[in-house]
Structure 1
């Protein structure tokens, strides 16, 4: 039982960052994020995809739906974010953000490896078959 609770708690903690980031970009943060992406050489046209990835990916991980696939995709998203936006190692904050993204990718890869446990849609669907 404890393992199931820690699994759910871990999924929530990994996802909260993405959910809050995606939601913040829907409002006042949209224009600033678009400008930041453009300044980093990334097309702001990709911003709706980024927002959808953050929000839908976070929700999928929290509820445990297609957990392994979603965790793999969010690990890749985290690595790409680190590489495209946080490679300025002369700036200590950028170094910290780079390592944060890499650590989050590691958490998602571990989740991909183990999948979601009992408190998940994946487990409910597996029990039905």
Structure 2
């Protein structure tokens, strides 16, 4: 049953790792362009970084769907293993997940709109 705990820990760090990768992607785009990218200027696929774009784009889907698996494994840790659920790790997961949602939905920065256009 330690496998569930390890999977839960790994899933718990997915949102923060995606934010770091996305931040580096924006930084590399800024260094290449000389300005922060905007909606459709340039398209993220046209930056000449196909591997980085693929990691960020598909990583976002993994993070979005990880919420389901995180909830299942958290319940598995608490119910099946009868262990204490690490509230700090759970709180950080929820916090960074909400930061990702805010980043992608906010119109002020426009990075989410730029990535998903």
**TM-score of the pair, normalised by structure 2:** 0.37
Higher-Rg structure is 2
Higher relative contact order (CA 8 A, sep 6+): 2
**TM-score of the pair, normalised by structure 1:** 0.34
